[in-house]
Amino acid sequence: MTKITDKNQTVKGTPPENLYQEVITTHLNADFDALASMIAAKKLYPEATLVFSGSQEKNLRNFFLHTTSYLFDFSKIKQIDLNQIKKLILVDTRQKSRIGKFAGIIGKRGLEIHIYDHHPPSKDDIHGTCEIIRKTGSTTAILTQLIRDQQIPISPDEATIMCLGIHEDTGSFTFSSTTPEDHIAAAWLSERGANYNIISDMLTRELTAEQIWILNDLTKAATTIMINGMEIVITKVIREEYVGDLAVLVHKFMEMENLNILFALAQMEDKIYLVARSRMEEVNVAEIALAFGGGGHPHAASATIKNKTIVQVERSLQSLLRDLIKPRQQARDMMSSPAIHIGPDATVKQASTLMTKYNINVLLVIDSEENLLGYITRQIMEKAVYFNLGNIAVKEYMNIEYATVSPQTPLSEIQELIIKNKLRILPVVDNHKVRGVITRTDLLNILVGGPVITDFLYESHHGSHFSKKKNLTALLKERLPRHIISLMKDMGATADRLGVNAYLVGGIVRDLLLKHENLDVDIVVEGDGIQFAHEFAKNHDVRVRSHKKFNTAILVFPDGFKVDVATARMEYYETPAAPPIVETSSLKLDMLRRDFTINTLAVKLNKKDYGTLIDYFGGQKDLKEKVIRVLHNLSFVEDPTRILRAIRFEQRYDFKIGKLTLALIKNAIHINCFKGLSGKRLFMELRLLLMEQDPIQAIKRMHELNLLPIFSPEIKLTNEIIDILEGIKEVISWFKLLYLDEVCENWKVYWHGLTSSLTDKAIHEMAKNMHMEDLESRQMISQRMDADQVLDKLYRIKKDNHFGIYTLLSQYDTETLLYFMAKANSEPIKKIISNYFTKLKGTDALLKGRDLREMGFQPGPLYRKILDTLIEARMNNKVTSKEDEKKLVRKQFGKELTKTNPPPPFPLNGEG
C-alpha cells in the first residue's frame, strides 16, 4: 500500500499563517477510539495539526490532561484559521453534523478531504477525495494496518493509546462488531510496547459517588415497553451539572440487568444526552441516533440534543421506535394452518381432486399418527392420471426428501431455504407434528409487503394454448425486408421437412408490434435446434456454428448476417444469480424462462400456420398498456440482471414498470440479490444500458432504486454528474452532425461520464470487480484517468498552436475526446476539440517513407521526426504540395542526409 502523504507538505520556514494547511480532527464528544485514531493518523500525515472539533468525554479529558498533552502537540480550534486549511483528515467519523465548526468549510473549493472510518453510512455523510472505510470494530484498527503496511515506527506511548482505542470501541473484544482486524492490530501494538496496566486502569476506573447515584437513578427510572414483539427498556436521569462517562454507566446498567435493548436519556445542564445499546439485529440504534443528529453503530450509538425537554425527546424516541422497529417474523407468523394433507394410502386420483378443490399445487402426505412422510406435486399427479395410474397409492409417487422448520425459525432462514433450494412448500414442525406450511407465495407476501397474486406458476398447465389467435402475415410483409420474409418461409419449410415446429421469437416480434425497427432474427425449434440448423444449411449458402451444451446454433450468411437458432428449453437456477441449468422443453416453457411478458411473443413459421401470433402470457396486453411485468415472483432473485433490463426497456419504450414488478425489484435489491452475480455479466448489462439512445433517464432510474452502488460504492449521481451526462448527450448529437467517416461507441462516453467522480483507486477497483481486463477496457480506463491533466493543458494551450493541440489530442480515442468536451463545460475548450475533429484530425504529410528513402534518408527514428515536422508545417500552411514538403525536408534535414549518405571519395582515373 502506498503511503498516504502529500508531496506539498509544510516545511520549516513556512510563514505562520500556513501552519495549519493540514488538520486532523474527529467527532464531537471524542472517545478513546477517536483520540487513538487522531494519533495514528498523525503517523501517516506527520506535518498535520491535531485539533479536536469540540468537547471530549470526561474520561478522555482526564486522560488527555494527565498524559497525552505531554506527548503530543494538540492545537485548539480557536487557534486555527479554517480558511487556510487545504487538507482536512477526518477520523472515526464522516458525518457533517458531528465535526463542529469544521462543517463550515466542507464544499470549499480546493479543499482535499481524507476520511478514515468504520461507521455504517448515513445520509449526513461527507465524501472525500480519499476514503478508507472498513467494517471493523474500531477506526484505530484500520489506521494501525496502514501504519504496519508502510513500516512506520511507533513509540510504546503511541502503541498504548492506540491499543486503548481498540479496547474501548470493541468492549475489549466482546462486542459483536469486533473483527479479526481488531485482534491483529491489538496484537501488533502489544508487540510495540503497549502498556496494559495503563489500558486496564483506564477501562476499569472506579465510579465516583456521583456516577453511582446516576447508575442508581437509571435503574430505578427504567421502564419496559413492547414494540412489535421486542422488549425495549427506556430510562432517564436529570442533573443540573454535567457528569461524564454516561456511556460507561449505561453499559454497566445493561450488563447488570442483562438487557437486549436499552435507551438512556440524561438531561444535564441545557442538553439532552442519548446513549443507546442493542444486541438485536432488528433494532439498529444508529438509525435512531441519526434521527436526533447523532450517530454510531447498529449496536451502540449516541446523540446530543439541544432546545428540547427530556419529555419531548422521550416522546419522539418512542414514536421513532414504533416507526422503525419491524416485527420479528418467525415461521409461526407466516405459516398457513392447518396444513391441507392426505394419507399415504389415498389414491393419486383422490389427491388430484383435493388439489383442485383447494386450488393448491403441493400436498403434504401425513399418516394416521400425524407423522410427515413426504409431499406430492400437481405436476406428478396429473402425469400419473394421464398414464391411467389414478388408482395407485400416493405413497408410491411422493417425494420423501424434504426440509422442515420449527415455529421459531426466523424469516431470514426461511427465505434462504425456499429461494436457495427452490422449495414449493416448507412444513412447520413442532414435536414431530405438522403445525402448518409456508409456501413460496407466503414468503413473497412478506418480502414484497403486500398480497401476491401469482399469475404464472411453473407447474401450471391450465388456460388456453394462447389467449388470442392473430395472424401477422400482413404486418410481417409490411415491416420486414423481402430477404427476411423469404428466409422465414424457408425456415418454416425446413421445420415441415423435419416434422417439428419453428417460431420467430424475442425482440423482433415485440418490436414488430410496436413498429420499431429490429432485424435480430431469433428462431426457436420444438425439436433439435442444431439438427434444424444443419438441415437448413443443406439448401442455403450458410455456415453453422453450434453450442452443444445449450443445444443452440448460429447461421452465418455470406454477407455477415446472422440468425440464432435455439432448441425450445426450460431453465432452472441452483442458486440465486447463478447461471441457469438448461433442459429441453416446449415453446410454452421456453417462453416462461424469458424475462418479461412483452418478450414472450412468438410467430409460427410452419407453412400451415405461417404468421400466427402465439401469446401465452398476455404480452400483447402489456404492450398495449405499456407495462413491464415479470412472469413469476422469483424472477429477479433467479437473475438479478433482469432488473437492469427492466429499466432499459422501460426507458427505451417509455413504458412503466408494473406495480408488483417494481415491488419485486425493490425486494431483490433489499436482499442484495446481486451478491452472487459475476462482475462480467454485470458489466455486460451496464454496457447494454449505456448503449441505449438516451441512457440518462435509465441512469436516473438506477439512482432512484439505489442500484448504482452495485457497480461501485463510490458512484454518486450528483447534479454535477447529471450536468456532465447531459453535456455528453449534446456533444454526441453534435458529433453525429459532422458526418465524419468514423464510428463512435456512445456507451463509452456515457461510461466516462458516469464514473467521472471516481478516484483512480475506485476506478481500478470497479474495473477489477467487473472483469474489465481486456486491452480495450484497460485503454479506456487509462484515458479516462487523464481527463483532469488534459483539460488543464487545454486551458493553457494557445489556440493557434495547432500542432501542439494535434499532438496532445491525437493519442486519445474519439469517445474520450467527446467526454473531455462535456466535462470541460467551457466554450474555448469545446472549440479547440471541435477544431481538432473538423480540421486537424487525420492531417498527414504527402511524403511517405518511400519518398524519404528515394531522397536518400535511411529508415529509422528520423522518419518520425521528419513526418511530424511536415504535419506541423501543413497545419501552419507553410507547405501545400509535395514539392513544398521536399524543399522543407532538404532545408531542415539536409545535414542528416549528409550523415547518412557521405559524399563519394575524390574522383580517380578521370571519373567525374
Per-residue pLDDT tens digits for 701-715? 999 999 999 999 999
Question: What does the pLDDT read at residue 30?
Answer: 81
Question: What does the pLDDT read at residue 229?
Answer: 67
Residue with the bigger pLDDT between 575 and 40: it is: 40
Confidence of residue 330 (pLDDT cuts 50, 70, 90): confident
Tell me what the mean pLDDT of segment 667-683 comes to: 86
Tell me what the mean pLDDT of segment 134-156 comes to: 94
In angstroms, the first-to-last Cα distance of the chain is: 72
Question: What does the pLDDT read at residue 65?
Answer: 43
Burial class (CB in 10 A: 0-12, 13-18, 19+), 900: middle
Confidence of residue 367 (pLDDT cuts 50, 70, 90): very high
Q: Which of 712, 649, 645 is closest to 684 using CA atoms?
A: 645
Phi/psi at 238 (nearest 5 deg)?
-125, 130
Question: What percent of the chain lies above the pLDDT cut of 90?
Answer: 43
Tell me what the mean pLDDT of segment 1-6 comes to: 34
Tell me what the mean pLDDT of segment 403-420 comes to: 84
Question: What does the pLDDT read at residue 171?
Answer: 80
Residue with the bigger pLDDT between 508 and 245: it is: 508
Q: Judge if the upstream peptide bond of residue 338 is cis by omega within 30 degrees of 0.
A: yes
Residue 376 pLDDT > 60: yes
Question: What does the pLDDT read at residue 92?
Answer: 92
Question: What does the pLDDT read at residue 2?
Answer: 31
Tell me what the mean pLDDT of segment 51-64 comes to: 63
Question: What does the pLDDT read at residue 339?
Answer: 83
Question: Please, are residues 289 and 262 in contact by the beta-carbon 8 Å criterion?
Answer: no
Q: Which residues contact 328 (CB under 8 A, 6 or more apart)?
A: 228, 229, 230, 282, 410, 411
pLDDT in tens, 236-261: 999 888 877 788 888 888 877 778 89
Tell me what the mean pLDDT of segment 888-894 comes to: 86
Which residue is listed with cell 407447474?
459
Tell me what the mean pLDDT of segment 870-883 comes to: 86
Residue 12 pLDDT > 60: no
Beta strands of 250-329 (E only): which ranges?
A: 261-268, 271-278, 295-296, 300-306
Tell me what the mean pLDDT of segment 820-832 comes to: 88
Consecutive H or E run containing 237: strand 230-239
Residue 910 pLDDT > 90: no
Question: What does the pLDDT read at residue 633?
Answer: 67
Q: Which of 166, 177, 168 is closest to 136 using CA atoms?
A: 177
Tell me what the mean pLDDT of segment 677-704 comes to: 93
Paired residues of 330 in beta bridges: 410
If you average pLDDT over every residue of the chain, what do you get?
84
Tell me what the mean pLDDT of segment 18-46 comes to: 87
Residue 579 pLDDT > 70: no
pLDDT in tens, 431-477: 889 988 888 877 775 665 433 333 333 222 333 333 445 889 999 99
Question: What does the pLDDT read at residue 133?
Answer: 93
Cell of 290: 441519526
Confidence of residue 71 (pLDDT cuts 50, 70, 90): low
Question: What does the pLDDT read at residue 253?
Answer: 86
The top-scoring range by mean pLDDT among 331-340, 489-498, 592-601, 858-867 is: 489-498
The top-scoring range by mean pLDDT among 301-310, 437-446, 494-503, 902-911 is: 494-503
Q: Crossing angle for the helix pair 32-44 and 156-170, nearest 10 degrees?
A: 140
Question: What does the pLDDT read at residue 6?
Answer: 35
Question: What does the pLDDT read at residue 162?
Answer: 94
Question: What percent of the chain lies above the pLDDT cut of 70?
Answer: 88
